[in-house]
Amino acid sequence: MNQETFDPDAKLGTYLLGGTALFLFGVLATILNVALPVEDYQKISNFSVFFFTGGGALLMIIGAPVLAESGSETLRKLWPHLWKILTGAVFASFGALLFDRTEGADYSFLTLLLVAYIILLGLLLAQKELKERLTKTIEMIEVIVVAVALAIFIKAIGVQAFKIPSGSMLPTLQIGDQLLVSKFLYGIPLPYTDARLPSIRDPERGDIVVFAYPGMDNPDKPEEIMYVGKNMIKDDLKGEDFIKRVIGLPGDVVEINGPEIAINGQLLDDKWGRFDPSMGGPLASRRHMGPFKVPEGYYFVMGDNRDHSNDSRFWGFVREGRIKGKAFIIYFSTAGLNRIGTML
């Protein structure tokens, strides 16, 4: 590309600076995702990491001609070749995320992002003599990057959509219900840690929460469910988003006797639970548990469809840092349009 390709009124400096910020954030997050020995749920999603790396690179390439007027001879010589350096970094980021083999990682989306990057880069390079069409390409890239960046930002700190895939929360939630989950209510999670920004309030009994499933090898188990040995079961759902209702709060003493749940010696007014008296097998064995104490910083959760729910009775407590947010409204449902707008 050469300088005459671009509209002199274009905000090339803005593209260069904004792209640099996004690109550096993406590269740093790539390194942290691969290098830090933290739980997968604490990491920034691979999709977000690679999007910022690739999107930032494209914006930098668009803004690179501004370097032709730089006072630095090195930068003046660098700008025509900057796209090669950035593309090499984009491919390196893709390879690092791909071969890290993070459990549950979104490799298909990473591949789509890489293909999109190659296509958009090709448009920038191939159309360098077609000023009008190039301007449209630049506008398209700008819209895509800004729109997706805003979506990622909103999902990270504000509201996330969640679809109900099973009947574990019947009758409250139907298969096909699509929910919005508030993240800021319990405090926005900080990446690579279990720390959070200040919350509006802590999770309360009765809240329907979305959390990163700890797996059957979850070390946070009361003695009553230690029959599942640690690290003995491969759990393909580990790290997936689960949705259950908070029953036991930190410090609570919980006891389960059939359909009755006692919290600190007092029967819980359980207006949520549904039971299936015909059920036998392992779920029936979870009808009598405790008393046991919920540790500080942990929660005991159950599905409303008590005899058809994989919950804390089987894999233990949920660490507070795993909780992503509170479900608060059904915004769409294939189970019936009359469910739309239902507050939870």
| pTM, rounded to two decimals | 0.83
Find where tokens 């409250």 sit: 172
The confidence score (pLDDT) of residue 259 equals 84
| The token pair that represents 239 in the structure block | 């790290």
Can you tell me the distance from the alpha carbon of 146 to that of 14, in angstroms, rounded to the nearest whole number?
A: 13
Q: How confident is the model at residue 139 (pLDDT cuts 50, 70, 90)?
A: confident
C-alpha 159 chain-centroid distance: 11
Find where tokens 């007092």 sit: 266
Can you tell me the distance from the alpha carbon of 226 to that of 220, in angstroms, rounded to the nearest whole number?
A: 10
Please identify every residue annotated as catalytic: 168, 244
Express each pLDDT in 271-322 by its tens digit.
998 887 665 544 554 577 889 999 999 999 999 998 888 899 889 999 999 9
Find where tokens 């599905």 sit: 303
Would you say residue 229 has pLDDT above 50?
Answer: no
Q: Angle of helix 107-126 relative to helix 131-157, nearest 10 degrees? A: 160
The confidence score (pLDDT) of residue 258 equals 80
Question: Where are the alpha helices (H) located in the chain, listed in sequence order?
Answer: 12-35, 46-63, 73-78, 82-100, 107-126, 131-157, 281-285, 312-315
Would you say residue 103 has pLDDT above 80?
Answer: no
C-alpha 228 chain-centroid distance: 28
